[in-house]
Structure 1
Amino acid sequence: MSQTKNKGSLPFNLILIGFMGTGKSTVARCLGKKCAMEIIEMDEEIVRREQRSIPEIFQQQGEAYFRNLETGLLKELQKETNKIISCGGGAALRAENVAEMKKNGKVILLTAEPQTILNRVKYDNSRPILKNRKTVADIAELMEKRQKKYLAAADLVISTDNKNIGQICEDILHAL
């Protein structure tokens, strides 16, 4: 059993960042169960509040509008502690968002190889950034553009390649 679970509530949030398909949502669910913490899926919360899908938001009002929604939600979430916040893949690209994450959270970057990501998202059409770009080369290019900002935001980096969800969660809990 992990020490984190025995502590009861954490005085901070666990914030999962990383490229789409690295396992943020799955890891959030696992950590939520292990640590008895509330999980906030940022993309799901935005969809619920906006009452439309992320592709619809992108199409109707653009990426900047969506990114502003992310920033507003992060500001709101950092007023509380003991939550697991699973961010969308682009949330950590904005300096203002990273500042909000750091106010009250430990930022955990999940990583995976481009081939792993392609295998995980190839049948998912809900990701506007990957529209018509579902190749290893395209994913690698997008990841490369984001990597520096992801690493700068992270307090902890965990690879999800060739690991089961239990191993990934234990890696995180041991590192905390």
Structure 2
Amino acid sequence: FECIRTNSKRIQARKLFDYNIVLIGFMGTGKSTISDFLKNVFAMDVVEMDQIIAQRQGMSISDIFETYGEQYFRDLETNLLIEMQSRSNVVISCGGGTPMRECNVVEMKKNGRVVLLTAKPETILDRVKDNHDRPLIENNKTVPFIADLMEKRRAKYEAAADIIIETDGKNELEICEELVHRLRTMDEEK
């Protein structure tokens, strides 16, 4: 894994995946952290869906929800996923609710492998407690509330996932090594 950091290996790394890696999971499971790591180690482009949508709309996700409603925001997500099909070797970091829509999952799988990152509710609370741009839990930062919301989403998350990686107690390198190893194994089986 370390040798990937050398310049000659970086060029080869560009061709590591001929599809996109789509990261899904509840808020605070490490999607942005792992995206950044893959970007730095493998020179992959990263698309942070929430960030791009916020930039294009010129307002925060919370403001989009408040001004236009959740449906409008979900439509923006779907359109962005469709747009991403013309690209490859890109890490797409999805918002927590993106896989709840069947049509989004269909779009993700057209040109990507879907990786579900998971964590315990306690871990998630610890990671998001100081963040205020999470409209769904802003006034409910408790383990029971997070656990309940996670449980409501679990079946759809798992149905969408090609591979599932638990992030509790693992560092970025360990998570990324597992991710790459499991994707390559999956590619060899196809």
Give the shorter-chain TM-score range.
over 0.9
Q: TM-score, normalised by structure 1?
A: 0.96
The answer to whether 1:77 aligns with 2:77 is no
Find the aligned partners of 2:138 and 2:32 in 1 and give their Cα distance: 20
Given the alignment of the two structures, is residue 104 of structure 1 paired with residue 108 of structure 2, yes or no? no
1:50-85 CA-to-partner distances (Å, cap 9, x unmatched) read 000000000111111111110010000112111000
Residue of structure 2 equivalent to 1:8: 14
Structure 1 vs Structure 2 CA RMSD: 1.5
> SS at the partner of 1:129?
coil
Partner of 2:148: 141
1:70-123 deviation line (CA, Å, top 9, x unaligned): 001000011211100000000011000000000000100000000000000011
Shift of 1:7: 5.3
DSSP-derived class of the 2:115 partner: strand
Count of residue pairs brought into register by the alignment? 176
In the TM superposition, what are the counterparts of 1:142-161 in structure 2 within 5 Å?
142-161=149-168
Q: Distance in 1 between matches of 2:21 and 2:135?
A: 26
How many angstroms does 1:131 deviate by?
A: 2.2
The DSSP-based 3-state class of the residue aligned with 1:68 is helix
Task: Please give the TM-score of this superposition, normalised by the length of structure 2.
Answer: 0.89
Q: Deviations over 1:23-68 (max 9, x none)?
A: 0000001011222110000000001100000000001111111111
Stretches of structure 1 lacking an aligned partner (at least 5 in a row): none
Match of 2:180 in 1: 173
1:155 and 1:25 map into 2 onto residues whose CA distance is 19
Paired position in structure 2 for 1:124 = 131
**Deviation at 1:125?**
0.9
Aligned partners of 2:160 and 2:150: how far apart in 1? 15
Query: Tell me, which stretches of 5 or more residues in structure 2 are unaligned?
Result: 184-190
Q: What letter matches 2:50 in structure 1? A: D
82-91 vs 29-38, which moves further:
29-38
Equivalent in the alignment of 1:19 = 26
Quote the residue 2:51 is aligned against. 44
Task: State the match for 2:122 in structure 1.
Answer: 115
Identity %: 53
Contact 2:14/2:89, CA 8 A, preserved across alignment: no
SS of residue paired to 1:110: strand
SS of residue in 1 equivalent to 2:69: helix
Q: Which is greater in Rg?
A: 2
1:32 aligns with 2:50: no
